[in-house]
A and B are shown apart, each in its own frame.
Chain A
């Protein structure tokens, strides 16, 4: 699976949008972009995934560039509970694909 690169940390104000970037310049055509997050001392939580088109669900939006070399996860109205480590993962979703985690980006939402 392709390597992803994320900044180590960022912060945003509560109520504002949090835009989390991810680079995946070596992503292949059949690899999806997945986002998970891990709140301290809990198991990771699925957020969203996409292949080419932008995606939106009740948690977030995923914007993937046309060349698919980078993407942005958008939390439209960040709350203090969104403080977590966010992982961007490129994954070929074949049978029993293994999720491997990089260092992620630590998002701190400030009051």
Chain B
């Protein structure tokens, strides 16, 4: 089946630095990808919709200047957490849809120290 790959799977960074997470669709083209965040013992929260060749659409309450999304090609979207703080520590997950089915990446565990 289709595969969506995320990199890195785990990252630790210092407070104030920026972290980039990549999401790739490996065997299909995705004009739209989605980014989610999940805190411990909570459900996935949709952060934004990444659109190839245009600006991302952010959900209410998500700061677009803090979570920069770039969807430069049909197989790659990146999420950059800028000026990370400990409260940004979370599990970040991307997804891409092919037809009626959504495929999810393995997730990236971000820890800001």
A residues in contact (CB < 8 Å) with B: 32, 36, 38, 41-46, 49, 87, 93, 96-104
**Least distance between B39 CB and chain A CB atoms (Å):** 13
Main secondary structure of the interface of A (DSSP, over half): loop
Q: Is B93 an interface residue (CB 8 A)?
A: yes
**Least distance between B103 CB and chain A CB atoms (Å):** 7
Contact A41 to B109, CB < 8 A, known contacts A98-B49, A99-B34, A99-B95? yes
Main secondary structure of the interface of B (DSSP, over half): strand
- A102/B43 in contact, CB under 8 A: yes
Chain A residues closer than 8 Å to B102, beta-carbon distance: 36, 44, 46, 99
- B105/A43 in contact, CB under 8 A: yes
**Least distance between B26 CB and chain A CB atoms (Å):** 14
Q: Is B75 an interface residue (CB 8 A)?
A: no
- B103/A46 in contact, CB under 8 A: yes
Taken together as a complex, chains A and B put the C-alpha atoms of A17 and B49 apart, in Å, by: 37
**Least distance between A55 CB and chain B CB atoms (Å):** 12
- A44/B43 in contact, CB under 8 A: no
Q: Is B91 an interface residue (CB 8 A)?
A: yes
- B34/A101 in contact, CB under 8 A: no
Q: Is B77 an interface residue (CB 8 A)?
A: no
- A42/B34 in contact, CB under 8 A: no
- Minimal Cβ-Cβ distance residue in B for A104: B43
B residues in contact (CB < 8 Å) with A: 4, 6, 31-32, 34, 36, 43-46, 49, 91, 93, 95, 97, 100-107, 109
**Least distance between A44 CB and chain B CB atoms (Å):** 5
- Minimal Cβ-Cβ distance residue in A for B10: A41
- A96/B49 in contact, CB under 8 A: yes
Taken together as a complex, chains A and B put the C-alpha atoms of A104 and B91 apart, in Å, by: 17
- Minimal Cβ-Cβ distance residue in A for B99: A93
Chain A residues closer than 8 Å to B49, beta-carbon distance: 96, 98
- A43/B107 in contact, CB under 8 A: yes
- B43/A41 in contact, CB under 8 A: no
Chain A residues closer than 8 Å to B31, beta-carbon distance: 96
**Least distance between A103 CB and chain B CB atoms (Å):** 5
Contact of B104 among A43, A93, A102, A104 (CB under 8 A): A43
